[in-house]
Amino acid sequence: MKIIVTGGAGFIGSAVVRHLIMDTEHQVVNLDKLTYAGNLASLDSVANSDRYHFEHSDICDRVELDRIFMQHQPDIVMHLAAESHVDRSIDGPAAFIETNIVGTYTLLEAARNYWKDLSSQRKESFRFHHVSTDEVYGDLHGTDDLFTETTPYAPSSPYSASKASSDHLVRAWHRTYGLPVVVTNCSNNYGPFHFPEKLIPLMILNALSGKNLPVYGKGNQVRDWLYVEDHARALVKVATLGLIGETYNIGGHNEKQNIEVVRTLCTLLEELVPAKPAGVDKYEDLITYVTDRPGHDLRYAIDASKIERELGWVPEESFESGLRKTVQWYLNNKDWWQAVLNGSYQMERLGQGA
């Protein structure tokens, strides 16, 4: 099949593109605006494949979307393009409204316009897969509660509110227009090629530089962690095998407090990088507690039994194995993250006409 992946140069999107090219026979059209979070270097391993094509485009640009649909004639759209950093949404929510809500609406309309003119056979097999987050469900207060596919929405941040809005749009386009959609909501991802402002890569790179490891509040926020390559496998499985109109929650069965994650990283670095920056006795000594973010949810946890039961997906990595792989990747790929930190990775974006 031919699959359009929006946001395919981002963290999760690039993992999906790499999986599709390396592990399947599908063709991929990567549609990405190349904002700060898009990095084509994350796709160097597959960029020369004759089954891969890059389209530098914005999901808010309807004219370009219509051209891309007509030119490439996709069988599936996997929609991952999104503004996704909570702190950035608090500081500047407008970009989240524009990309996550208006962009999703524009993409839905372009997909609907394309889908309605397909032959009956292709129309029946077409899928629009919307990729969302567990943050739309808000906060869990009980220690044993889990998010299910029917948990009511209660978003807390501008980011999660914008994603909740896009989820509602996708379901409305299915209900009103019959557009064949599937939706996934996933827990926190981690792994290779993760933008360094997120918790795990930030802690790794700060520790290697002898900088403070800032932890919000007391660090007692609980998240369910999923290795990004496990998520990519799940997404492709849902896109190709999921039932139309259904939602699938994807989780790693790895609930950890943020402070536990940071301390585990410190322990791994003690083993893998015993030679520390000047003035650092133990990596844990770098942990500092900072003022909590506004509206910070305390606990997220996913019930992923539906996708296991119906589609046979389970994560392959434990938190321990995935975290070790992640730390080792950052140690082995300094060129990638140094280019992000010094901004030179954006020259690739400028080279694409951004």
58-79 pLDDT, tens digit each: 999 999 999 999 999 999 999 9
Residue 129 domain boundaries? 2-193+226-253+300-317+345-351
Which two tokens mark 117? 């003119």
Strand 213-216 to strand 247-250: parallel, antiparallel, or no bridges (unpaired)? unpaired
Structure-block tokens of residue 92: 């500047």
335 Cβ neighbours under 8 A, 6+ residues apart = none
Residue 284 located in a structural domain: no
Please spell the DSSP secondary structure of 31-58, one letter per residue: EE---TT--GGGGTTTTT-TTEEEEE--
Q: What is the identity of the amino acid at 30?
A: N
246 part of a folded domain: yes
d(CA 316, CA 298): 27
User: Mean pLDDT throughout 173-178?
Assistant: 98
The residues near 53 (Cβ < 8 Å, ≥ 6 apart) are 27, 28, 29, 30, 72
Answer yes or no: is 248 within a domain. Answer: yes
Strand, coil or helix: 249: strand
Domain contains 200: no
Task: Check 159, 248, 283, 300 and give the catalytic one.
Answer: 159
pLDDT for 351 beyond 90? no
Q: Residue 354: is its pLDDT beyond 50?
A: no
pLDDT at 352 over 70: no
Does 91 participate in catalysis according to the annotation? no
Catalytic residue among 135, 167, 224, 317: 135
Chain-centroid distance, C-alpha 143 = 26
- Angle, nearest 10°, between helix axes 62-72 and 104-115? 40
Is the residue at 85 inside a domain?
yes
CA distance 306 to 311: 8
- 159 tagged catalytic: yes
Q: In whole angstroms, what is the distance from residue 134 CA to residue 185 CA?
A: 5
CATH number of the domain enclosing 237: 3.40.50.720
| Residue 265 covered by a domain | no
pLDDT of residue 350: 54
Q: Report d(CA 216, CA 259) in Å as an integer.
A: 9
Number of domains the chain contains = 1
Residue 112 belongs to a domain: yes
Model pLDDT for residues 183-199, shown as the tens digit of each residue: 999 999 999 999 998 89
Q: What is the pLDDT of residue 346?
A: 78
First to last CA, the chain: 29
Q: Is the residue at 17 inside a domain? A: yes
The CA distance from 173 to 249, in Å, is 20
Q: Is 134 a catalytic residue?
A: yes
Task: Give the separation between CA 173 and CA 194, rounded to whole angstroms.
Answer: 32
Which of these is catalytic: 55, 58, 75, 134? 134
